[in-house]
Amino acid sequence: MRKYLLAVSLITCISGVTLTSRVFAVDQTQSEPPKVTLYGAGSLRGSLSEVADAFTQEYGITVNREFGPSGSLRERLENGEKTDVFASADIGNPLKLYQLRLSGPVVNFTSNRMTAIVRPGLSVTSDNLLDVLLDPQIKLGTSTPISDPSGDYAQEIFRKANELRLGSFQTLDAKALRLVGGPSSPPVPGGKNSLVYFIQETQQADIFLAYSYFQVNRPHLP
């Protein structure tokens, strides 16, 4: 049985969405039905796929989907790719598109928490978490800052740690392994939960800072 301790809720993170102004009207004379393009954060794949399926069933409009790290998707949109909806794992990436006049207004539509996911057998509590994170023997995994908001939130956790113990930011930033969400992140075999893969199967990390949607015994990314 795969068991991970969701040790501590560390920081609240906000997801935002940008919308383009587009009206969809079904024209019976058209040879092809209208379509909607959705770019979404990888962490929203499961929930937004269910929404997209329900939308298609209700309105008969196909939703083309592209999921990935929010920062990387934002860069693609800045470079000329088109989408009707961009659902990001943060507010900053969609706000940048809005400020560049590449999207409509940004809407906050959900929130989440960052947590520390810990390998089995490692004793972590709210009281000793920072000590464990700073332990030079502990391998700390995070997502990639800038490319993936989860990595940016991890950096914010490091800054908060520095307020408690001076020098913590430098130590944590230097030891953090950017295992997810970046152009040079190591590949994860198809269908595998990245945290299960990096913590249990390959043992590349002892603790991983990630969104709280990673539940005990969930075998796949949502």
Whether the pLDDT of residue 7 is over 60: the answer is no
Residue pLDDT, tens place only, 28-78: 455 667 889 999 998 888 889 999 999 999 999 999 999 999 999 999 999
pLDDT recorded at residue 56: 93
Provide the b/e sequence for 44-81 (b: ≥16 CB within 10 Å): bbeebbeebeebeeeeeeebebebbbbbbbbebbeeee
Cβ contacts of 49 within 8 Å, gap of 6 or more? 65
Task: Record the pTM.
Answer: 0.76
Dist. CA 78–CA 101, nearest whole Å: 10
Fold of 14-111: D-Maltodextrin-Binding Protein; domain 2 (3.40.190)
Amino acid occupying residue 4: Y
Q: Can 5-13+112-211 and 14-111 be said to share one CATH topology?
A: yes
Dist. CA 172–CA 142, nearest whole Å: 10
CATH 3.40.190.10 for the 5-13+112-211 domain, yes or no: yes
Token pair for residue 139?
């391998």
Show me where the domains of the chain are located.
Answer: 5-13+112-211, 14-111
